[in-house]
């Protein structure tokens, strides 16, 4: 526990899934995040990091999903409204970036309405940036929606309207 901040960031556990759902649900209702079935959270629990307060209550979450040998996606970043502005999102991002570097990734992608937050964390609008045609040919075969969002495929357009595709290069 960091006494200065009053919270710590750790790997998610299966018993955190209901808390992750509870953190995400208000953002789903506001149409900031897409809703997911509970089974999807369990399937991806190893990708999640959670922030917990001194009592052990979940106050934030975020996930890192590997897309390609050098590319990962930051997914499902959420912070309890009572903890906004206290560095929780930043701390989770720092942990996800460290995890990404540990995996050998050199770029992170996100699809977000929270452009200001991600820009403050070193992300920039990808614009029309794309990948090598050979890599594209591999990625386009993935059933993963995050990959489709990264590639800006037409089939995900209705779910991504108003979002910004952002990327960060890691050191």
Write the pLDDT tens digit of every residue in 101-114. Answer: 999 999 999 989 99
Average pLDDT over residues 127-135: 73
Average pLDDT over residues 92-99: 98
Q: What is the largest CA-CA distance in the chain?
A: 49
pLDDT at 157: 58
Q: What is the pTM of this model?
A: 0.88
Task: Retrieve residue 41's tokens.
Answer: 């959270």
Tokens 């991002």 map to which residue? 93
């Amino acid at each position: 526990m960091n006494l200065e901040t009053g919270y710590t960031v750790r790997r998610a556990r299966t018993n955190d899934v209901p808390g992750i759902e509870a953190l995400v649900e208000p953002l789903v209702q506001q149409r900031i995040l897409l809703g997911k079935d509970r089974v999807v959270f369990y399937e991806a629990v190893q990708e999640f990091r959670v922030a917990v307060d001194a009592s052990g209550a979940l106050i934030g979450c975020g996930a890192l999903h590997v897309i390609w040998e050098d590319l990962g996606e930051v997914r499902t970043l959420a912070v309890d409204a009572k903890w906004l502005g206290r560095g929780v999102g930043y701390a989770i991002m720092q942990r996800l970036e460290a995890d990404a570097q540990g995996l050998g990734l050199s770029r992170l992608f996100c699809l977000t309405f929270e452009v200001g937050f991600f820009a403050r964390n070193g992300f920039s609008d990808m614009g029309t940036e794309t990948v090598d045609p050979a890599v594209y040919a591999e990625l386009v075969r993935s059933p993963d929606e995050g990959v489709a969002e990264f590639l800006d495929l037409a089939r995900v357009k209705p779910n991504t309207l108003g979002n910004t595709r952002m990327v960060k290069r890691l050191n």
